[in-house]
Amino acid sequence: MEKLMYMMMIQKSKTYNRLTKSVITEHVENIRRLDDAGKLEICGVFKGYPGMAGMYILKTESREEAEEICKMEPLVTGGYATYKLVGLQIADRENNYLL
């Protein structure tokens, strides 16, 4: 059976440099909610990649659920960032690394 996760690539918009402490706090609270709900595999900030802010790897039941999570991200709803959602096929011991 194919195992999928979804990667949300967060791209900075032209207003990214206007982020406020309040928006950053909302962003971190959102990360905590996703983690508490078991929807977040990992997240992080990109260093040395102009235009890219960071990413989430989401554990969801469907692409539609992942899309809804992306649309609710405070950086996105505030206009500070956009996103690309990419399906990630998992390779692991269980599926012999897709061999």
Q: What CATH number is given to the structural domain containing 38?
A: 3.30.70.1060
pLDDT for the residue numbered 2: 79
Compute the distance between CA of residue 49 and CA of residue 79 in angstroms, rounded to an integer: 20
**% of the chain residues with pLDDT over 90:** 97
Q: Which domain holds residue 73?
A: 4-98
Picking from 26, 31, 4, the residue whose alpha carbon sits closest to that of residue 87 is: 4
Q: Considering its fold, how many domains does the chain have in total?
A: 1
Compute the distance between CA of residue 91 and CA of residue 77 in angstroms, rounded to an integer: 32
Runs of H (alpha helix) within the chain: 21-36, 63-72, 74-77
Which residues are CB-contacts of 75 (< 8 A; sequence separation ≥ 6)? 10, 16, 19, 23, 27, 53, 81
CB 3 within 8 A of CB 88: no
- pTM across the whole model: 0.91
Q: What is the mean pLDDT of residues 25-31?
A: 98
pLDDT for the residue numbered 1: 65
Compute the distance between CA of residue 25 and CA of residue 17 in angstroms, rounded to an integer: 15
How sure is the predictor about 3, in pLDDT bands with cuts at 50, 70 and 90? Answer: confident
- Mean pLDDT lowest for which of 1-5, 62-66, 83-87, 88-92? 1-5
Q: What is the mean pLDDT of residues 44-69?
A: 96
Q: What is the mean pLDDT of residues 77-98?
A: 96
